[in-house]
Amino acid sequence: MGPIIGILIVAIVLLLVLSSCVKIVPQANAVIVERLGAYLATWPVGLHVKMPFIDRVAKRVILKEQVVDFPPQPVITKDNVTMKIDTVVFFQITDPKLYTYGVENPIMAIENLTATTLRNIIGDLELDQTLTSRETINTKMRAALDVATDPWGIKVNRVELKNIIPPAAIQDAMEKQMKAERERRESILRAEGEKRSTILVAEGKKQSAILDAEADKESAILRAEAEKEKRIREAEGQAEAILKIQQATAEGIRFIKDAGADDAVLQLKSLEAFAKAADGKATKIIIPSDIQGLAGLVRSVAEVAKED
């Protein structure tokens, strides 16, 4: 029994040693392997086997993009205003070997590098520029950090200023300034609104006056056309009446002539027809010469009869 138990123990130990030599590297990870304390290889994703006792896993490295939020750092602007700024750094490990052997504590190194770079950039800017130039500061910091961390196998993808905290006195002054600016804008907007309203009212009155003038003009035109039409119809009626009277007179004269009346009677009837045609309304009547002579004869006969 004793030898059998010993064999079983040895077998179990061998199995444990062999199982510890088999390693599986998951996705987005890398493993640094050392042999006798020296760098041996970088294992990518998959199944790997190391030599027992002489090989060891020195470091597991995450290759995914990582985010580090650093605490606020005190900085001084160009116009000697002290403020606190906290930053967020997005980085990714591109070379696991350099990341493992390039720097002792990479995260602490990035934090200190971020603080010093931020102080250098903010030291060249005044307070107002610092508050309004976030994008510029982010771009400059990302470029500086990316160059500095390249020997460590780290790529800085993005740097963001999370908060800019000026002193309390500066904050109060800024709030008062913002309040005054809002009140000024409100006054300007109110004045512009009133101006716009006045312009619209004036334009409305102008349009109303134009429409009224056009309506009066159209009404006057219609009245003139109606008066013109009335006069034309009256003239046509008078012409038609005169024509009918003349036609009736002509018919009477034709009847008298057919009855055998002499020329004197016919001329006298014509004169009567002209008198009826004028009827006090005509301003000018042209009478033939023969009828004028007959009229003189009639006047002479009338005078003789009066003397008798």
Average pLDDT over residues 20-34: 89
Maximum Cα–Cα distance for the chain, whole Å? Answer: 201
pTM reported for the whole predicted model? 0.54
What is the model's pLDDT at position 140? 92
Where exactly are the structural domains of the chain?
2-62, 66-166, 262-308
What is the model's pLDDT at position 287? 52
Average pLDDT over residues 211-217: 85
One CATH from 3.40.50.850, 3.30.479.30, 3.40.50.300, 3.30.420.40 for 66-166: 3.30.479.30
Of 250-264, 269-283, 294-308, the poorest mean pLDDT is in 294-308
Tokens of 96: 């696991």
Per-residue confidence band for 277, with pLDDT thresholds at 50, 70 and 90: low
Average pLDDT over residues 143-162: 92
- CA neighbours within 13 Å on the CB side: how many for 178? 6
**Structure confidence by residue, pLDDT tens digits, 40-71:** 999 999 898 888 888 888 999 999 999 999 88
Query: Is pLDDT of 274 > 60?
Result: no
Per-residue confidence band for 99, with pLDDT thresholds at 50, 70 and 90: very high
